[in-house]
Structure formats: structure tokens, C-alpha cells
Amino acid sequence: MADKDTNVSEEQRSLDTLNETVKGMSGALEQIPETVKEEVERRVQEETGDYKAHYEEMEERTKKIETNVDALVSGLQELRAPGAVATETREDDYGYGNEPEALDDMIAEVRAAASGMGTPERLAKMHKGEVERRALSTLTGVGGGYWMRPQFSDQLLQIPPDQQWLSSLIRNLPATDPPNAEFSFNAFDQSGAKGIFGGVAVYSAKELANLTQTDTPTIMTVNFKPEKTGAYWTVSEEASVNTPQMGSMMQPLVNGAILSYRDDKIQTGTGAGEFKGFASSPAMISVARSVANQVNYIDLLNMVARVMSNGGGRFVWLCQRVSMIPQLGSLTDGAGQLIWTRNANDPLPQATLMGIPIFFNEISPSMGTQGDLRLVNLDYYMRKPGMGAMMKSDNGILNFLKDQETLKVSYYDDGKPWITAPLTLRDGTNTVSPFVELTDVA
């Protein structure tokens, strides 16, 4: 028993000694981090002062460097990517403003650039923005002229609200991206026996009865590819130095010439690199006149009977003024009474026939020939606009000895009838069309 107590006491004493040693070491370890921290703080304060102030200063410098780097990267991206100019928030006027003389300023700067004086800043900015907007990255001001801002294109290409042109009655398709891309759309094929509703079959049936097999509607594809059209004019050296006066005279003249040319092609275009006119459309119906070299009341009735009118439309008579007004003024009914003019005292009536407007134009054939009078529904004629106007100058190179300078505006569009044949009525015999003309005696 005594031996056992002795052994326990020695083990207890060893354990107690170990515990005291561990406690001493723990106490020493607890003091080390504080000692090290104090030493670090002391040395930092000796070398740099307050370390917190030093850290805050370095952080502020870092933020300034980051801000400068961001600005530099943004500037480089703007220089490398023209899209930065041609976004939805791009400038609309490119510095030209919206005053009437803005177009004159642009013309003057195009002429200056063509003369080798360098491209003015706002002209270059406008061209760059329009190139990107129209996906024309391969064109340059040196080789292709300078693209005009949309407002300038509108002034030269759009229809004035106080004037009447066929262009105002046709259907205009929406712009595409890129603007000159070929555009196709599907339409019901109404040709032949398919009828005016394009082969859509409507039926009646008894309950639970089998349906009789019918033809399904046929779809046809209509394609448009905008082609280039241009207008040019020459000015003398004396006129060119007065750019504002030249511009104010040029704008309405060029606008009128473009609209007149477009109206011509809507009627008579061949479709080869230009509009396809309805005059040569296979859908045109020819109505024989009752008396050679005349237009009579019965001729008007026969033409109205053959024009397609389902669903409304934009109807118009087309004829030449010089030879047709005497004919219209002498139209009589079955009783021999004048029907367009009542007497010689009253002014000429409003230019309508049977409630349909008359467009007098310079393009229609002379009285007595095929097509001297046409009745058309222009809902069935479509135009696909392409890129807007571009302007360039030859700086007088071609007519140097004459002191004349040539200015040119070019733009892109396409147009055609989208009905390709007369439409058969449900009686299976008679036909109608959006395009009807008077022709020679049968």
C-alpha cells in the first residue's frame, strides 16, 4: 500500500510540473503577437510616418490611375470603332444644324474637299457616321463621294406635302439593314384561275361529312434589289462662288427632277437596273376604245368595269394634259350633254373623273395611241428604298476649259408591280386588274 501511494505521488508531481511548464509557454506565446505588432508600428512610423495615412494616399492614387486608364480605353475604342458615332444617340446634324442654309454649307464643303483642300471636320464626321449606319465600311469620301445626313436626303428625295406625284400613292416597303440588301416577301399568288383571293378556299359542309379536296393557296415570292440612280448638273465658275444662292436654286430643281424621273419609271421602267413600270406589266388589261383617236364616256365605263377594286385602293387616272383636256371637256352623255364641263363660263372642274383623281403628266402617250388614258390602283405597286443620297463634285476637271463644275447626287431604290397577271373572277370568265389602259379600236 505504501509503495502504491509513493508511485502516485511521483506521477502527480510530474503531471503538475508539466502543467506549469505549458502554462508558462502559453503566457509567453500570448505576448508575442502584441510585441511584433508594436515593433512593426514603431518601424513604419519611423520610416514613413503614420502608416494609415500612407495607405489612404496610395489608395487615392490608385483610383486616379484607374479612372485615367478607363478614359483612355474608351477613347481608343471610339477611334477604332465607327459604331461609336452611329449609335442611336449619334448626332442628327453632325454640326450642320437644321437651318435652311445647312445644305448649302454641306455643298460648299464637298466642293472644298474635291478641290484637294482637305475634308472639313464636320463633313468627315457626317460621312463616317453615315457609312457605319448604312453598313458601308468599304466606301470612302475619296472614291465614292460623301454620304448625306438623312435630313439632306429627305430634302432631295422626299415628296413635298403641297405637290402630287405617283410616288405618293405607291406602297413603300420598310428599310432593311443593310439598306441595299435584297429584300423578298411572300404574297398570295392571285394569277389565273386562283382568283382575287389567291386560291383561298371557303366551303360549307354538313356535320360529320367529308370535305371535298380543294386547291390550297399558292405563295409567290416578290424580290426587290435597290439599284443606283443619279442626278447631276453643271454650274459655272461664277455661279459656284455663290454657293448659298446655288444651293437654294438647286434643291427644288433636283428634287423635282428626281420625282419626275421616278414617276416616269413607275409607269414605263424596263426593270433592267431600274424600276419595273406597270405599263409593260403582264397584268395590264387593254380596253379597246369605241371610236378611233377619241375618248368617250363609254370608254371610261368600260375601264372602270375592269379595274380591280376589292379592298379599296389608291386609284388614279393618268393622261397627258395637252391632248386630253380638250377631249375631257367635250365628253357628252347619251343625250349629248356635256358631263365634265357644264358650260364655257364656269372654270374647269376639279381634276376628277367618276370621283377618281386625274394625274396630268408629261409621260403618258399622245391622244389616240395605246395607253393615252390609264386607270391604275397603286396599292399594287411597291417601292423598296435603299441607301439615301450621296454627293460628289468633279471640281471642274471634266470641263476645266469651260470653267464649269459638275455636281452629282446618287441614291438607291427599286420598285415594281407585285401582281403578275389579270385576276379571274369567280364566274371563271371575266378578269380584272389593278392596271387598265385604253388602246386602239378592236
- Per residue in 133-151, pLDDT (tens digit) is 665 544 444 455 887 877 7
Cα-Cα end-to-end distance for the chain = 152
CA torsion sign for 94, 96, 102, 104 is: negative
Residue type, 268: T
Give the pLDDT confidence of 197-244 residue by residue, as tens digits: 655 666 666 676 666 655 555 667 788 888 888 888 777 766 555 555
pTM of the complete model: 0.64
Q: Are 283 and 420 in contact (CB under 8 A)?
A: yes
The answer for residues whose C-beta is within 8 angstroms of residue 150's C-beta and 6 or more apart is 92, 388
CA torsion sign for 128, 134, 135, 139 is: negative
Least confident of 38-42, 134-138, 161-165: 134-138
The answer for residues whose C-beta is within 8 angstroms of residue 387's C-beta and 6 or more apart is 134, 136, 147, 179, 180, 226, 411, 412
More confident position, 419 or 54: 419
**What mean pLDDT, rounded, does the chain reach?**
75
Give the C-alpha separation, 92 to 148, whole Å: 11
Q: Are 421 and 192 in contact (CB under 8 A)?
A: yes
Give the pLDDT confidence of 240-264 residue by residue, as tens digits: 555 555 556 677 788 888 888 999 9
What pLDDT does 70 receive?
Answer: 64
* Predicted confidence (pLDDT) at residue 57 exceeds the cutoff of 90: no
Q: Are 246 and 240 in contact (CB under 8 A)?
A: yes
**Cis omega before residue 357 (within 30°)?**
no
Give the C-alpha separation, 379 to 434, whole Å: 8
**What share of the chain in percent tops pLDDT 70?**
64
* Predicted confidence (pLDDT) at residue 373 exceeds the cutoff of 90: yes
What pLDDT does 406 receive?
Answer: 84
* Predicted confidence (pLDDT) at residue 265 exceeds the cutoff of 60: yes
Task: Dig out the grid coordinates for 22 from the structure.
Answer: 505549458
Mean pLDDT of 360-376: 91
CA torsion sign for 174, 419, 276, 252 is: negative
Cα-based torsion angle of the residue sequence 297, 301, 306, 311 in order, rounded to the nearest 10 degrees: 130
